[in-house]
Structure 1
Amino acid sequence: MIDRNAKLSLSRRAKALRISRRSIYYQPQPVGDADLKLMHRIEKLHMEFPFAGSRMLKGLLVQEGAVVGRLHVALLMKRLGIEALYRKPNTSKPVPGHKIYPYLLRNLPIIRPNHVWAMDITYIAMARGSIYIVAVVDWATRRILAWRVSITLDAGFCIEALEEALAKHGQPEIFNLDQGSQFTSADFITVFAARRIKISMDGKGAWRDNVFVERLWRSIKYEEVYLRGYASVSEARAGIGRDIGFNNGRRPHS
């Protein structure tokens, strides 16, 4: 498909791949400033009201003076990869063959470093697409032990962050994760098996099970991301690095 000088015509290549020929010529368009501003506001409202769907978010935006329709809000929510949190019948299924581990932290006092580590992924909207951040956090100290930025959601950048944290800071007794496919993949789980680290996993949609990492994402987005409006991945990486340095070095933690 990339080599336009190949002998096979574009029509036949498109037919073989079962895609429209028109899609071959499509060039991604950057998100406009107005939509980018709306996306950042939708992210903030979603963090404050995670139960709000497109209808409620549209109403909240209109109250703030925005001129936007519900369908457009739904489109931007889809682009951001967010949806309202509510009970749904069997919509969150683990990847076939991936083991799901029990949650081990309920009523467990965590008062010393390297007792429990946690890991999570979040996204950041930019003018051209999104980036994803993964971080390893020590629950007792709230210190960010390692982090990575990626433009894709494969497991590779998660494994890199995990291995850096283990190399620099030893290892925890328990590692807490959500049920995302990156964290249940065989390559990722193998890292724990070799070191005999206990794995704990949040329940489906149970963001409170990993509340300290969720608070970290909130701080990074409100105190750094929303104030900057990154134009490139390198700019985002530098800005997030500064905020994480502040979190580790100067921010007081309860």
Structure 2
Amino acid sequence: MKTYERAFKVSAVKLSYEREKGQLACLARELGISSDNLYKWRKDFEKFGTRSFPGIGHPNLTTEQAVIRDLERKIKDSKITLEILKRGTKYVSQGKISAKNFIENNKSEFSIAKMLSVLEVSETTYYRTKKQELTNTESRVILLKQEITSIYYEFKRRYGCFKITRELQNRGFKIKNSSVKKYMRILGLRRKIKRKFKVTTDSFHNHYVVPNLLNREFTVNVPAKVWASDITYIQTAKGFLYLTIVMDLFDRKIIGWNLSSNMSTKETTLPAWEMAVSNRKIDKELVFHSDRGVQYANKLFTNSLDSNELVKRSMSRRENHADNAVCESFFTHFKAELLVGNKLLSRKQMKIDVHEYIENWYNKKRRHSSIGYMTIEEFDRLHFI
């Protein structure tokens, strides 16, 4: 059963209020959801307001129920605080080591952070006292956990165990992926989860299409030999934006892109192509691969490509997304790392965030499994581009 993020549901409901009642079925089709879902979400939103759609395992609560639950949590927290004080006060008065021992002996029942707060023991004092009694192996594990946590948040929760392992190795740590995976599980660190998103492609048109020359040969040994392109939609607080990319399969760099408010060729594929050509010179035969969307098949765009005799066009087979898997993969990571779990942004802020993601994160800092977990800049330096 397909699930939807809370932000998406709220946005869908708000969009529905801007439409006439008879247009709700049309809006549902535009959003890729059923009319029943949209009507149900509207009903829930009207009943619970900002408390709607709390997620699996979290029931909708009325204002009165939420107040009661909050009071119950405060009572429970007060009981825990009282119990820690009753048991631990005498140990704190006996010195740092005694306080540390009490915390260690009771960490299965109470969280360390809670005990430190209630007993007014500083975190620095606790860990310094604890570290003085640790073996070299134990000290190394603590350091590794701290470094893993630091990398995880430095890269905005986008890295899983493989990329964190490579980052640690680059920083001088000798560690295997299995160990990083274990420590991440212990620390409760999980990268942002990928979700499938609807693809925006209109391949049913009368324009001329070309065969699939690329034929899923996604590994390329020289730059400017194969470029791939695609378009996806991005939901904002006020409607949709459309992101067009051009990727060089040699180093997987996004060499051309454009963000637009409509799907016209002049606002999507044409400016992305022009940016790619200005960023990377075409000095030998180039295959330009895309899907069969009208933005790639119409005369305005094809004339621009055909004006360069070195460019050969290639298109995926109809409704076969695997033929352009590299771009599909980029959009999957893009939406998982930038959009999933975040609130809907204004169009202006989304444009800023997309520029930051592509130019400063993806093209410079992100580690890519397709090029040996190197960054694009590291890979390009290695291959003398």
TM-score w.r.t. length of structure 2: 0.43
The answer on whether the counterparts of 2:11 and 2:237 sit within 8 Å (CA) in structure 1 is no
SS at match of 2:340: helix
The answer on whether the counterparts of 2:230 and 2:245 sit within 8 Å (CA) in structure 1 is yes
> Which of residues 193, 197, 200 is equivalent to 2:306?
193
Counterpart of 1:35, as a letter, is: K
The count of corresponding residues between Structure 1 and Structure 2 is 186
CA offsets, 1:89-109, max 9 Å, x none?
xxx76322x111000112645
Specify which structure has the bigger relative contact order, considering alpha-carbon pairs within 8 angstroms and separated by 6 or more residues: 1
Question: Is 1:132 the equivalent of 2:242?
Answer: yes
Aligned partner of 2:49 in structure 1 is none
Q: 1:126/1:169 Cα in 2 relative to 1: closer, same or farther (>3 Å)?
A: same
Q: How does 1:1-254 map to 2 (within 5 A)?
A: 35-36=9-10, 64=56, 82=198, 94-96=204-206, 98-106=207-215, 108=217, 109-157=219-267, 158-171=269-282, 173-196=286-309, 197-244=311-358, 245-253=360-368, 254=370
Point out where structure 1 has 5 or more consecutive residues left out of the alignment. Answer: 1-31, 40-51, 68-80, 84-91
The answer on whether the counterparts of 2:245 and 2:258 sit within 8 Å (CA) in structure 1 is yes
Output the CA distance in 2 between the equivalents of 1:227 and 1:53: 19
Aligned partner of 1:10 in structure 2 is none
Output the CA distance in 1 between the equivalents of 2:279 and 2:329: 24
Instruction: After TM superposition, give the deviation of residue 252 of structure 1 in Å.
Output: 2.0
Q: 1:188/1:107 Cα in 2 relative to 1: closer, same or farther (>3 Å)?
A: closer
TM-score w.r.t. length of structure 1: 0.64
Q: 1:35/1:230 Cα in 2 relative to 1: closer, same or farther (>3 Å)?
A: closer
Higher-Rg member (1/2): 2
Counterpart of 2:362, as a letter, is: N
CA offsets, 1:135-194, max 9 Å, x none?
110112110001111110100122011011102211361000111111111010011111
CA offsets, 1:77-123, max 9 Å, x none?
xxxx948xxxxxxxx76322x11100011264522211100110000
SS at match of 1:200: strand
Q: 1:93/1:215 Cα in 2 relative to 1: closer, same or farther (>3 Å)?
A: closer
Counterpart of 2:238, as a letter, is: R
- From the two aligned structures, give the one with the greater helix fraction: 2
Instruction: After TM superposition, give the deviation of residue 238 of structure 1 in Å.
Output: 0.8
Percentage identity across paired residues of the two chains: 25
Q: 1:242/1:34 Cα in 2 relative to 1: closer, same or farther (>3 Å)?
A: closer
Counterpart of 1:101, as a letter, is: V
Output the CA distance in 2 between the equivalents of 1:131 and 1:175: 24
SS at match of 2:257: strand
